Amino acid sequence: MLFPSLKFKVAAVQAAPVAFDLEASIRKLERFTRTASEAGADLVVFPEGFLSAYPWRYAFDATIGAREPRGRQWYARYHRSAVAIPSPEFDHLCSIARDHHVLLSIGIIEKERDTLYCTAILLSRKGELLSAHRKLIPTTALYQQGIEVYIAPNADDLPAWAASMQHIAKEGRCFVISVNQFTRVSDFPSDYPPFTAGHHDRQPDGSAWTPEAILSHGGSCIVGPLGTFIAEPVLDQEAIVYGELSRGDLVEARMDFDAVGSYSRPDVFTLTVNRKPGTNVYFSEG
């Protein structure tokens, strides 16, 4: 059991990585983990793509019918700043969870040879990998497993996103931890193409990008199993969003609705999820 006690404390870290710099981003992650651990957090959650970049405003110079050398070079840099499982960098993350005795959820760009995945990893207090969740897995499959805490690292700061988190919490009768980056242009390298003077990319009002310009306003929040906020969305600042969760609330919330109980109509509908690792190419002999 991940949370042996009835009540536990969670921390959603709303911050940006040191973009495209894996070592520096891990150091930043360790600082925030230490702070949250000292504040008594049992679970510490980092945003989508925290290791080591969410490539805001940039498609790596890929346009219809063309791929530019500069974009390929930046993609290679993106690949270098990703996390392989296993790797020395991954071992470092495990040691951070172990040293600070916390459950640690991190949004990473995972590399498996030449392929990149947007992945959320969960590490135990002993520094062991509990899960590596790559997009996309049907939500109902999570509910069926009796999920109590739904971790949602993301890159969406629009008002409707918070409403989506409330809906998931209410539908699944679970706690939802939504964690996003608070990111400015200044968090990226000075030569990052979209923000250089000669690049065509502009702010929504048409003006050139400035170091202070905000790319993601954050909006990290924690929602209870009836869809109400335990911690309201936090905007326009780097922050750790804390919440005290009680499992007793889950039992109360499921009194009148159970997403995979009678409301799921198993007599009419079924969902099959293949959890085996996929293989794209199979070889057979004559």
Q: Which of 142, 85, 89, 143 is nearest to 119 (CA)?
A: 85
Q: Which of 175, 140, 137 is nearest to 264 (CA)?
A: 140
pTM: 0.85
Whole-number CA gyration radius for the chain: 20
pLDDT of residue 266: 67
Asked whether the predicted pLDDT for residue 137 surpasses 60, the reply is no
Amino acid identity, position 191:
D
CATH number of 7-264: 3.60.110.10
189-215 confidence digits (pLDDT tens): 999 999 999 999 999 999 999 999 999
What's the whole-number mean pLDDT along residues 41-53?
A: 97
Share of residues in the chain with pLDDT > 70 (%): 94
pLDDT of residue 208: 94
List CB contacts of 70: < 8 A, sequence separation 6 or more: 61, 193
Map out the domains of the chain as residue ranges. Answer: 7-264
216-273 confidence digits (pLDDT tens): 999 999 999 999 999 999 999 999 999 999 998 987 888 777 776 655 666 677 777 7
